[in-house]
């Protein structure tokens, strides 16, 4: 299974962005995590086009980086918010 690290930059702190990601990922049955970083939000998910499926009216994405990453198949059993990196 392919996983992607999606780094999102812009107005994504303090606007419910992680919870929007969590709710949409669970609704669509994706696996992975979301967390705040010092300068944005990091999403690990098994869908390269996830941001296109997300309603982010309260946030503003100024930039994003998407990279495919290697993940052990059994690492993720659901989707969850994890501790921030700062």
User: What pLDDT, in 10s, does the model give residues 21-61?
Assistant: 999 999 999 999 999 999 999 999 999 999 999 988 889 99
Q: What is the pLDDT of residue 68?
A: 97
- Whether the pLDDT of residue 19 is over 90: the answer is yes
Query: What DSSP string runs through 25-39?
Result: HHHHT--EEEEEETT
Residue 84 lies in a domain: no
The pair of structure tokens assigned to 13 is 């702190």
| Run of H or E residues at 46 | none
List the CATH number of the domain containing 20: 3.30.70.100
- Structural domain range at position 56: 3-74
Q: Is residue 25 part of a domain?
A: yes
Cα separation, 52 vs 40, in Å, equals 18
- Beta carbons within 8 Å of 1's beta carbon, 6+ residues apart: 31, 46, 71, 73
How many separate domains does the chain show? Answer: 1
- Residue 11: its pLDDT value, please? 95
């Amino acid at each position: 299974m392919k996983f992607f690290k999606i780094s999102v930059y812009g107005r994504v702190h303090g606007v419910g962005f992680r919870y929007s990601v969590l709710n949409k990922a669970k609704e669509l049955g994706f696996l992975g995590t979301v967390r705040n970083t010092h300068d944005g939000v990091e999403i690990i998910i098994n869908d390269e086009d996830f941001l296109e499926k997300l309603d982010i009216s309260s946030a503003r994405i100024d930039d994003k980086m998407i990279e495919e990453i290697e993940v052990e198949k059994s690492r993720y059993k659901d989707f969850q918010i994890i501790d921030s990196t700062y």
